Chain A
Amino acid sequence: MKIIPTTNMSTPILKNTLPRLSSPQSIFTALVGLCILINFLVQTIEIIELKQQRKIIGYHFLGTNYAGLAPLLDKVVVIGYYTDRDLAKNVNSARFAQAQYTLAPVILNPDSLDYEFILLDCASGQKAVEKMIEMNATLVFINPKAGFILAKKTK
């Protein structure tokens, strides 16, 4: 009866496989594979969570509030921008930058009110109206919900 030399058969395989598995490329491939797997899993969870969040809260670009002003400012180069909010705070700064983006190529100057048109962007519509009266300006457009007024200075 012929005896099959099992140990002799497996040795060359092990001899070839082990160095290959412990080669830098194999180790790195395993690490990269693991990293990709974990990252995609994390990414999928984040996408699902964000999608659910968006269903509840939705996405609101503050700049869209100001879209109605663009036709009223045709050919105007610069307008003044007044706010009683603290522009150093991120949320207020974002509001200003998004208003600036929506109204471009009209420039909003937050440092001067010495222009024909002024955008009064206040915490409430009431405050904006008070500032407009103080400046002796007339109302062109009001959005009481968003708390801003476009006013024109009386010459």
Chain B
Amino acid sequence: MTYCFPYLISFLIGLLAISLLLQDQKKINLPLRLSLALGIGLSISAHIIFFGFVIFDKLHRPFVLTIHFCLLALLFIGLLSRWKTFTLPKLNLRKTALEILLGLGLIVTILYVLWTQANFYPYGGWDAWSVWNFKSKFLYLGGQDWKNMFDPILWRSSQHYPLLLPLTNVWGWIFFKEPTPMIPLINSILFTFMTVALLYSGLKIFVKSTPALLAALLLVSPTTFITYATSQYCDIVIAYLLLAGLVCLILAKLNRAKVFAFLAGLFLGFLSFTKPEGTLASALIVGLSVPFFFNKNEGFSARTHPLTFLGIGLILGLLPTILFHILYAPANQTFINGLNSSTHPVTMERFKIIMLYFASELMSKKWCGLWALLFIGLLLSHGRCFKRENLLLCSFLGLYGLLTCFYYWLNTYFEIGWWLTVTLPRVLLAILPIMIFWVFYSLWGENAEEQPD
């Protein structure tokens, strides 16, 4: 039961916040609300713990728990005060018992597969015990000396990486006396499941149930995805937040709903606190949002413009990232600028290796033809994937791919073959859900009608 408490508290915080924010959005289905709620709740919990570290310079349990319960009470009061105008999200009761049973069966099967795969490696993959869970232990057990994790001796642990995942692990351990390995494992399963649920429920707003379900099943079908996602790495957290941010942005644009712009800002802020890749992705999406939302004919004032709300959400979500970089983050010790280095210069050979490796990874057997299938999907969309409503997704994916390749080329600290082998599959894992979303949205998006829940 102790395992459930932190998740239950975070889930309630997220659910109440989402319910308050989306009370006028009747079209938004219950699965989408639920999959956004846990992600938002866990990220808020991680942020509260981080602020505890900033204020008390150690893990301060009473502070963390007090803020959580105060927030919970405030949100509950907020919901009660709007109870008269509050409407519960639509639930389609026309569904047959068979459909409900099939749905539940599918959820249980996916959770069973995730649980089984995660338990093959209960301590996670290499970076789990040398980076993410390692940092979590410092935060949890380090007391006033937690900052020792930034000691240059520990350069192998990528000390400049932000702390969202380690703090989420610490939150899971908050009611324990010692850091049990079960919590990072549960976190990896939860984030994977939430990503799948978010892909299904996010797509379901724009397309019919069958393609949305196919998209979700396609995501969990390759063993490679499940293995990486349950390795207790941060990449699945990036995948989830990236998808959440982009789905909210598209909803903000299509529904002209400021509240989704605010949520998108919040998710992108959280995303920046995951990993440098997350920070890059977040900055890129925010940059692309400006032309995405800029339309002279829409008649928004500065106060009501979605970009204003995106900015507010972003500032709230970004605060820990800014504080982390100002107060704690050491310089990246694993970076050599190949353009300036005489010992490790950038070469054309390196560029060719990156391109070849990229292509061979996409076509690799381990992805079971998934990427090839997605490219076929893009071709079948007859150019719809590049239409105006899809521009945000395709320009983000294109630019993110280009910048990632550029960074691989520029940073000559690592031997490129080894570096690509270790990290490229994870970069692909993080963008896979939005790639699937893009393909399915391009193919079925125009059929978007009022969908039954």
Give the B-binding residues of A (Cβ under 8 A): 24-25, 27-29, 31-33, 35-36, 38-40, 42-43, 46-47, 50-51, 54, 59, 61, 63, 77-78, 94, 97-98, 100-101, 104-105, 107, 109, 111
Contact = CB atoms under 8 A, between A and B. Distances in A.
Contacts of B279: none
A98 B153 contact: no
Contacts of B210: 29
A42 B223 contact: yes
Contact of B134 (A47, A78, A101): A101
12 contacts: A24-B382, A25-B443, A32-B214, A35-B221, A35-B373, A36-B214, A39-B368, A46-B223, A63-B129, A101-B129, A105-B146, A105-B149
A98 B222 contact: no
A82 B444 CA distance: 60
B407 interface: no
Given A63-B129, A97-B156, A101-B130, A28 B149 contact: no
Contacts of B369: 35
Contact of B218 (A35, A61, A105): A35
Contact of A104 (B117, B141, B226): B141
Given A59-B120, A78-B153, A94 B373 contact: no
B376 interface: yes
Nearest to A25: B443
B156 A104 contact: no
Given A25-B443, A54-B120, A42 B146 contact: no
Contact of B122 (A32, A59, A101): A59
Nearest to B221: A39
Q: Which of A39, A78, A109 has the largest number of chain B CB atoms within 10 A?
A: A39
- Tell me the dominant secondary structure on chain A's binding face: helix
B126 A97 contact: yes
B380 interface: yes
A97 B133 CA distance: 12
B126 A28 contact: no
Interface of B: 113, 116-117, 120-123, 126, 129-130, 133-134, 137-138, 141-142, 145-146, 148-149, 151, 153-154, 156, 210-211, 214, 217-218, 221-223, 226, 368-370, 373, 376-377, 380-382, 443-444
Contact of B121 (A40, A59, A104): A59
Contacts of B377: 28, 32
Contacts of B156: 97
Nearest to B382: A24
Contacts of A36: 214, 217-218, 221
Given A28-B376, A100-B134, A107-B154, A43 B123 contact: no
B156 to A, nearest CB: 7
Contacts of B134: 100-101, 104
- Tell me the dominant secondary structure on chain B's binding face: helix
A33 B221 CA distance: 11
Nearest to B112: A47
B214 A29 contact: yes
B373 A32 contact: yes
Contacts of B138: 104-105
Nearest to A44: B113
Contacts of B380: 24-25, 27-28
Nearest to A43: B223
A103 to B, nearest CB: 9
Nearest to A45: B223
A45 to B, nearest CB: 10
A77 B146 CA distance: 10
Given A78-B153, A105-B137, A28 B226 contact: no
A57 to B, nearest CB: 12
Given A35-B221, A101-B129, 11 more contacts: A29-B210, A32-B373, A35-B370, A36-B217, A36-B218, A40-B221, A77-B145, A97-B126, A97-B129, A105-B148, A107-B154
Contacts of B443: 24-25, 28
Contact of B113 (A28, A47, A61): A47
A36 B121 CA distance: 24
Q: Closest 10 A-B residue pairs measured CB to CB?
A: A39-B221, A24-B380, A101-B129, A104-B137, A105-B142, A97-B130, A36-B221, A105-B138, A43-B223, A61-B123
Nearest to B151: A107
Given A35-B218, A97-B130, A100-B130, A43 B113 contact: yes
